Amino acid sequence: MNDVVVELKNVTKKIKGKTIIDDLSFSVRRGEVYGFLGPNGAGKTTTIRMIVGLMSMTNGDIVIEGHNIRTNRAKAMANVGAIVENPELYKFMTGRKNLIHFARMSGKAIREERIQEIVKLVDLENALDKKVKNYSLGMRQRLGVAQALLHNPSILILDEPTNGLDPAGIRELRDYLRHLAKKENISILVSSHLLSEIELMCDRVLIIQNGKFIGERAMDPNADGAASVPKAIHFDVSEPDKALAALASTTWSASLGEGGALTVELLREDIPKVVEHLVQHGVAIYEVRTVAPTLEDTFLSMTKGGRIE
Amino acid sequence: MRYFVSLVQNEWMKVNSKRQVPYYYAFITVISLLLAVVMRFFIFKDQPYSFISFTSDVHFVSSALTSIFIMVVSAQIITDEYKDGTIKQILIRPASRTMVLMSKLVNIFLILLVVYMVTLFIGLTLGAIFFNIIPADVKLMQIVSDMALSLPNVLFYALVAFTTAVLTHSLGLSITIPIILKWVLGSSIVFLSSKSWYKFLIFPNLDWKPYFTGDTLPFKGASFGYSITIYAIYMIVLLGISIVVFKKRDVQ
């Protein structure tokens, strides 16, 4: 099993001479939730439509589970489950018939038990034989998730999945997606313009603007490489001035922020040493924490305020 | 091949869930019933009338309706997917776009066959109830062959509706264009039969009946082989346009 599930290589899309996506490359690893972030109009939806084959590429390649979608589309798509915008379903048919429809289209033999299992998972057992036009929005969302997961895809692609959901629904979806990624080892590519959503849901985040790659960032502070980079550490102490004086004789660079907060630029391994040093100098410590720049800070600095030029 | 069959099954399930097909069967039944009542109690009050003849009458009355119905089905099978946004759901699956279109076309053909069978069944059943089970001038096989010979005509206009639907996504246009072609252009074009290019048009080549019954040929030098060739060219061009456009277009 390959570790990379989806790979985009120098993908470019031009519509009527205008470049919508410009030389975009990224890859999604197995079992990770990969966020796809950008201001409205940045090209998120276009990129997702190219991955699932709704739009053609002008240049570049997209490879899903080792199958290039230009040359081996059927095999590539057999591994993909997707909800592009709203989960569009056949309203005039029952939930069951909708699932049968998409099971037949999957190209895999899907047994009756699998349909039962997925229906149980999304909690639609009682509504399965009702027509979809009688479903609530939340039920349609769940049926949408069911049809996307029916054929055990290795990548689930979701375009703005929280649109139209209430806070409880958003939370439910978020927990569920994280569960899928960790327990079932499904990779999830999720696009959103909502920073807070992405921050809570994703392992890694890609930021694009005007169709161009802006940056990629791991959300987990303990991810590889994090220990060797100095970070701003916040010390909540009894006497900040005394603490500053105590640190002045050392090589650590300390500073006092507004409100007398003591901040020291430190490697992870040096934190206990500073604590020990301060205690020896009679400073009482109430709290020590890492000041991680929020995704919002990163996003705004990377996209220069999120404007579309 | 198995995958293609399951795509056709899907189309069949969708069309039959939409109610329009069952409603059409009910509609044919009601029309036939009215016809039976009028003929039994007003026209052939005291005379015997064959149930086969009645079946032929039912076919005569319903054939134009069926032709329109198949146009509507052919247009809707495309436009409904766009209207409901479900086109995206179909196109993100392993099925190629050509396969999707072909499965829909096969389904249209199957619906037409079933509608014809239902028409025969309703005609014979109501005929047996209201009229006399006696032989008639017209044989059952003649009605069946008449239906078979109407296939090229019905299927051509169905493909016109289908292609228009692929090009425009508009249900209104996809029904009006074939209707205008069939009943306005198709029935008045005969006035141009003296023109040298008349034989290259589709219209005089849609009716293959004269080649079997020995009726007057649609134009001088017409032959069964020639009509089939012209018909095939028109059908392949329409199909080709549908496939190329459907494959190329980005779905928003």
User: Mean pLDDT throughout A64-81?
Assistant: 93
Partners of A80 on chain B (C-beta within 8 Å) are: 92
Q: With beta carbons under 8 A apart, name residues in chain A contacting B19.
A: 92
Q: Does B13 lie at the interface with A, CB-CB under 8 angstroms?
A: yes
Percent of chain B at pLDDT > 70 equals 100
Give me the pLDDT at residue A7, please: 94
| Residue range(s) defining the domain that contains residue B30 | 2-248
Total domain count, chain B: 1
Q: Which residues of A touch B91 (CB under 8 A)?
A: 53-54
* Least confident span in A90-99, A243-252, A254-263, B37-46: A254-263
Query: What is the predicted pLDDT for the residue at B79?
Result: 96
A65 close to A20: Cβ distance less than 8 angstroms: no
pTM surpassing 0.90? no
Query: What is the rounded average pLDDT for all residues in chain B?
Result: 93
pLDDT band of residue B27 (cuts 50, 70, 90) is very high
pLDDT higher at A147 or A255: A147
Confidence check: pLDDT of A215 > 90: no
Highest mean pLDDT among A172-181, A295-304, B129-138: B129-138
pLDDT at A253: 80
User: Worst-scoring range by mean pLDDT, A79-83, A151-155, A251-255, B25-29?
Assistant: A251-255
All residues of chain A having their beta carbon less than 8 Å from the beta carbon of residue B93 are 77, 102, 105-107
**Band (A200; pLDDT cuts 50, 70, 90):** confident
pLDDT of A189 = 93
Is A148 near chain B, with CB under 8 Å?
A: no
Residue A228 pLDDT exceeds 70: no
In angstroms, the separation between the Cα of residue A286 and the nearest Cα of chain B is 55
What pLDDT score was predicted for residue B122? 96
- Give the nearest chain B residue to A101 (CA atoms): B10
At B31 the pLDDT is 95
Most confident stretch, A114-118, A275-279, B67-71? B67-71
∠A242-A244-A250 over CA atoms, to 5°?
120
What pLDDT sits at residue A34?
92
Does B92 contact A at CB distance below 8 Å?
Answer: yes
Mean pLDDT taken over chain A: 85
Return the pLDDT at B194.
83
State whether B94 and A73 contact (CB < 8 Å).
yes
Mutation target among B17, B104, B247 for the A interface, most CBs of A within 10 A: B17
B199 pLDDT exceeds 70? yes
Compute the average pLDDT of residues A77-85: 90
Q: Is the pLDDT of residue A66 over 80?
A: yes
Residue A309 banded pLDDT, cuts 50, 70, 90: very low
pLDDT digit string, tens, across residues A268-283:
888 888 888 888 888 8
Residue B177: burial class (beta carbons within 10 Å; 0-12, 13-18, 19+): buried
Q: Is residue B2's pLDDT more than 60? A: yes
pLDDT at A59 over 90: yes
Share of chain A above pLDDT 90, in %: 36
Stretch B181-202: mean pLDDT: 86
pLDDT at B163: 97
